[in-house]
Structure 1
Amino acid sequence: MTDESERSIRAAIDGEMLLLDPEVRASPARVLELLDTDFTEIGDSGQRKIQVGGEGPRVFRTGF
């Protein structure tokens, strides 16, 4: 593995770890900085959530 690949993997892991931090999760602006624009989240309730504009994730579909 190249140094560039290792740095990319490390950056991805670091970003994932930040998303687990309660202080980061409490800041919608900080969360949006870390998420890709195509990000989709499925919550523990089964609800699918997507980003809408500059806002945090919103419920997209329920009742699976």
Structure 2
Amino acid sequence: MNSASTERDAPDIKNVDVLLLDIEGTICSVSFVKDVLFPYAQNNYREHFKRHWSLITKQDLESIEILVTLA
């Protein structure tokens, strides 16, 4: 593979704010997500929001509202 092909195929991630990965069953087992990640999120989300609430934008809140309606 030449360098021109590599540059063309590489995604431009300089301005990316969020990277969402489908990990369940892809890079880790479904049981790991259920038994480890979900409990971790459930036990830590309040503290995360307390620490970062001042950084949340109106667009963030709108996105959260959309996710809640889809859940």
Task: Determine if the TM-score, normalized by the shorter chain, exceeds 0.5.
Answer: no
Higher relative contact order at CA 8 Å, sep ≥6: structure 1 or structure 2? 1
TM-score (ref. length: structure 1): 0.31
TM-score for the superposition, normalised by structure 2: 0.29
When Rg is computed on C-alpha atoms for both structures, the one with the higher figure is 2
